[in-house]
Amino acid sequence: MDSAEIRTRFLKFFADRGHQVVPSASLLLDDPTLLFVNAGMVPFKPYFLGEVPPPYPTATSVQKCVRTLDIDEVGKTTRHASFFQMAGNFSFGDYFKSGAIPFAWELLTASTSDGGYGFAEDRLWVTVYHDDDEAADIWHRPFCDFIVLRATCGTPSVGSAGSLTSHFARLTLKLKLATGPSFHFG
């Protein structure tokens, strides 16, 4: 599966579930807090901050992003990239963690013939923010036989669900787009 198919599957999955597909915004937005768009949710900040009413209840996008915080590390490892595309699904009051988590699991584990990525359930590990008991409980309810790790790295940002869980599917895709087209969990 190459990166184009990963993007297409992601957008189609959420479009089929009622999300508005939004094209990638320019890397330069009218946002005095940022030089470049550095995350997939940045074009949606006005909706999350309540500055503008959202034109749709849910959206999905594959946003072009630039990060320069660790620019000196680019090229030294496969983890560091200054340009990448971040796939995301967003809700503006329609659903929260209890809606987002089943979407993430279904997309990752559904067979490729059913539009998913076909990951084996027993090879996936889930991360939640270290004090996010709500997300950990939601993950454990329908999917009891897998590992939920509590992470202390990273912090929730404007528009996030307050946990790393909200970034689970996007993080997985971002890593695969940055490191190559194959799906291999060692």
pLDDT of residue 174: 35
Tens of pLDDT, residue by residue over 98-113, are: 899 899 999 999 999 9
Tens of pLDDT, residue by residue over 72-107, are: 777 777 766 688 899 999 999 999 988 998 999 999
Q: What global pTM score does this model have?
A: 0.75
Higher pLDDT pick, 184 / 104: 104
Structure tokens at 129: 């923010």
pLDDT of residue 147: 55
CB 178 within 8 A of CB 81: yes
Average pLDDT along the chain: 78
Cα–Cα distance measured from residue 139 to residue 145, given in angstroms and rounded to the nearest whole number: 10
pLDDT of residue 125: 77
Higher pLDDT pick, 120 / 23: 23
CB 23 within 8 A of CB 59: no
To which H or E segment does residue 46 belong?
helix 45-48
Specify the CATH architecture of the domain 3-179: 2-Layer Sandwich (3.30)
For 27-34, what is the mean pLDDT?
A: 91
Q: Where are the domains of the chain?
A: 3-179
Tens of pLDDT, residue by residue over 116-157, are: 999 988 777 777 777 888 888 888 766 545 555 666 554 444
Q: Which residues contact 145 (CB under 8 A, 6 or more apart)?
A: 121, 122
